[in-house]
Chains A and B, each alone.
Chain A
Amino acid sequence: MSFITLDAASKQSYDVIVVGSGAAGGQTAYTLTMEGAKVLMLEAGRRYDPLTETPMFQTPDQAPLRGVSTVDKPFGFYDATVDGGWEVPGEPYVQASTDPASRFMWWRSRMLGGRTNHWGRISLRNGPYDFKGRSRDGLGLDWPISYEELAPYYDKVEMLVGIYGSKEGLENTPDSPDGCLLPAPKPLVSDLLTEKYARTLGIPVVACHRAVLTERLDWKRLPALLHPGNATAQTILAADMQRRAACFFATPCGRGCSTRANYQSTTVHLPPALDTGKLDIVTDAMVREVTLDKRGDASGVRVVDRATGKEVHVTARVVVLAASALETVRILLNSKSSSFPQGLANSSGKLGKYIMDTVGASVVGQIPRLESLPPHNEDGVSGGHMYSPWWLYQEQLAGKLNFARGYHIEFGGGRDMPSVFSTADMEWLTGGSYGAKFKEDQRRYYGSMMYFSGRGEMLPNEDSYCEIDPVVKDKWGIPVLRFHWKWSTHEINQAAHMQKTFAQLIEAMGGRVKDVVHSDGRNAIAHGGEIIHEVGGAIMGESARDSVTNQWCQTWDVKNLFLTDGAPFPSNADKNPTLTIMASAWRAADHILDRMRRKEL
């Protein structure tokens, strides 16, 4: 079993169809196949192999336009994303309003492994408060599970994919049990400087958590912990872990990693799942809708072959949508029938509602203490070595802030490989120098710029939702999504707080802020969707009346239909969502296995 055609898949019988191959689809298929289920994975994009396709050591002078972003490659030429970005040719989406403040941006990666190929790899656990926000402050929605219920799955995901970090004992910032995390990389000079001066403002600076192997995974210890009693799975995983190299502290993670030293679904979840012999993958397979049988159970999905335009029906006992939160919602909204005229599993009317992104706002500064430093290699693990978790929980609870939820700070700087932009826009420092003085100025300022980016929690609201556009269809004739978006004053005030705080930090470090510090958060906040942390749209809850799925990501209306991506998130903590998606997907897959064994599915 391996990569097959849609026609071949239509002639097979499967236990589970998994739609999507990213963090959610990869984790779901991994867990199911390692425990013996027969799975068909459908991916809308092309087959993609990081081992042979990743531009590891390529330099900007080898790329068109020195590798800068274009509309074709929006995060730069060497970014791992192929056939993806803010716009995907032939696959439009629609804004409900022309007001720029209501704009929603939707990043899609049509490729095997989806967005896991290029993501930032920041892997933070939600804390106990993050699952019970409404109980704590009366706002937003509670999850139907607690931190303690998901914690064992965070442990498993950390051990499987390999995440570095440390234990800090900070509020609502859970420590992993011993043996879960890899050692954090040594801090950069900009990290140490930030830590020193952030302390004077009461802001903690600790090791970041990212999915990069700072050392090789312990293949002798971990497989037995991840698959107890399953000798086959342990053997497969032990062999695969030995094929993953440790990070060699060079080349940007965003390009992907041909040595498999960071997490991509394509390098971590899919290889062992394929080695079980239980996984078939069809790429270029665009799912149109979920089909139902006479009893009202899901029978399979109808799929468009992107190469031929031909439509094929594939079937299984269980259907899992893991297509990314909003694509999952789109498939459900497009799966209309006499029993579900408003979209499948939508008896609550909540489908498409409560979509959330992360609040983002940034300030850039120049730090004289980082000028003209002795040359040294700062490539490191090519992403944050340190970060600042939210530190004002008690002030917030006491009503001292004008926004309800927190944010963490991602920051960085240093002697990165020069890009077209790293030497640009320097007049504010150089006074317009050119000639020999300009070259001296560039040497002086190189490595002295730092950015501080806030990543904050957004509360779900009634004005941020998606629906099917009545007119526009994609190139296969599948109706597309139309987005409504509104930030509430909580998010706007939070963005203003970020601006003020980052300016204070830069000044405390003896630095100068570049550009304007916005006191009105509306001028600082990123567009909805721009941080690419969109979740919600098919929230989980306690009852079928006000949610789409139960705590197992199982739809209330169709018992053999599961949504294992970010769609069921009823809140979007400041913690980047991918780790929680994987933990929740593993938990849902365990539940599916259990119910299949009991013949309930």
Chain B
Amino acid sequence: MDRRTTIKWMLAASASLPALKGAVVHAAQATGTAVTSTPYGTDPDLLKIYKPGDLWPLTLSSEQRVTAAALADLIIPADANSPSASKVGVVEFIDEWISAPYEEHRADRKIVLNGFEWLDKESARRFSRPFGALLIGQGRQICDDICYLPKAAPQFTEAAGFFARYRDLTAGGFYTTPEGRKDLQYVGNVPLARFDGPPAAVLKKAGLL
């Protein structure tokens, strides 16, 4: 196993999932209809460029997409270095993710859709409008209560679990785009004639020079 695989394994909570065989049917909560979606199988075309929706139908309604974008942009807003999450396709990525015909994704589907429902209820209770229509400061008031599970009040525990998962998905979606890679200043994936190792400035900062 190469080191990237190892890292991925260890940072992923559970690496090995039970097999899913053939097509699976799940209820599309967004529309109330059942959709059939098929896994991409053990020999997909690796050279093709894929977009969310190419392989299986997406889930989110236009109202849910507004909620999804509002929360993603509270987590990753635009700043001087990069755009906000929703501007680089994070909502579409999350929609693809929760619509995927794999077991782990079906668990996330439940967490995310229930989370959206909770957000709307909570913002209706506090501000008499859906989450997607809140002012940024109002949205932050709700997020402040659910952004850190270890310190969340008991009534916010489940919502905090949703927020943690949604933050991971938002970050995962954002930092895997060209804009996200640029924000982190990842400068690889280019062929080099030689590999010189870390420059002196790096060694100095790390206390090695």
Residues on A close to B: CB < 8 A?
A: 46, 53-55, 57-79, 82-89, 105, 119-121, 185-189, 192-193, 196, 248-254, 362, 364, 369-370, 372-384, 410-413, 415-427, 431-436, 438-439, 442-443, 446, 449, 451, 453, 531-532
Q: Which residues of A contact B39 (CB under 8 A)?
A: 70-72
With CB as the reference atom, state the residue of chain A lying closest to B177.
A61
Q: Would B187 and A377 count as touching, CB distance under 8 A?
A: yes
With CB as the reference atom, state the residue of chain B lying closest to A255.
B46
Among B42, B93, B151, B190, which residue has its beta carbon within 8 angstroms of that of A89? B42
Residues on B close to A: CB < 8 A?
A: 1-8, 10-13, 15-21, 39-44, 46-47, 49-50, 54-55, 74-77, 79, 81-82, 89, 93, 96-97, 100, 102-103, 105, 140, 143, 147-151, 164, 167-169, 171-178, 180-181, 183-199, 201-203, 205-208
Q: Would B79 and A439 count as touching, CB distance under 8 A?
A: yes
Q: Known contacts A192-B203, A427-B148; decide if A376 and B187 are in contact (CB<8 Å).
A: yes
Chain A nearest CB: distance from B38 CB in Å?
Answer: 10
With CB as the reference atom, state the residue of chain A lying closest to B195.
A249
A505→B208 CA distance, assembly (Å)? 17
Q: Which residues of A contact B15 (CB under 8 A)?
A: 69, 74
With CB as the reference atom, state the residue of chain B lying closest to A87.
B19
Interface pairs A-B: 9 shortest CB-CB: A432-B148, A186-B197, A420-B172, A375-B185, A248-B191, A379-B188, A412-B3, A424-B168, A423-B171
A564→B196 CA distance, assembly (Å)? 39
* A interface: dominant SS: loop
Q: Known contacts A250-B190, A424-B172; decide if A121 and B47 are in contact (CB<8 Å).
A: no
Q: Which residues of B contact A531 (CB under 8 A)?
A: 1
Q: Would B3 and A383 count as touching, CB distance under 8 A?
A: yes
Q: Would A86 and B16 count as touching, CB distance under 8 A?
A: yes
Among B74, B175, B208, which residue has its beta carbon within 8 angstroms of that of A442? B175
Q: Would B197 and A188 count as touching, CB distance under 8 A?
A: yes
A383→B7 CA distance, assembly (Å)? 11
Q: Which residues of B contact A364 (CB under 8 A)?
A: 7, 10-11
With CB as the reference atom, state the residue of chain B lying closest to A445.
B184
With CB as the reference atom, state the residue of chain A lying closest to B43.
A82
Q: Which residues of A contact B205 (CB under 8 A)?
A: 372-374
A443→B185 CA distance, assembly (Å)? 8
Q: Would B178 and A435 count as touching, CB distance under 8 A?
A: no
Q: Which residues of B contact A196 (CB under 8 A)?
A: 208
Among B2, B13, B47, B206, which residue has its beta carbon within 8 angstroms of that of A383? B2
Q: 20 additional contacts, CB 8 Å, given A61-B89, A362-B6?
A: A61-B178, A64-B96, A71-B18, A73-B44, A120-B2, A186-B196, A250-B192, A362-B10, A364-B7, A374-B202, A376-B187, A379-B188, A412-B7, A415-B185, A415-B187, A432-B164, A434-B75, A436-B77, A439-B76, A439-B82
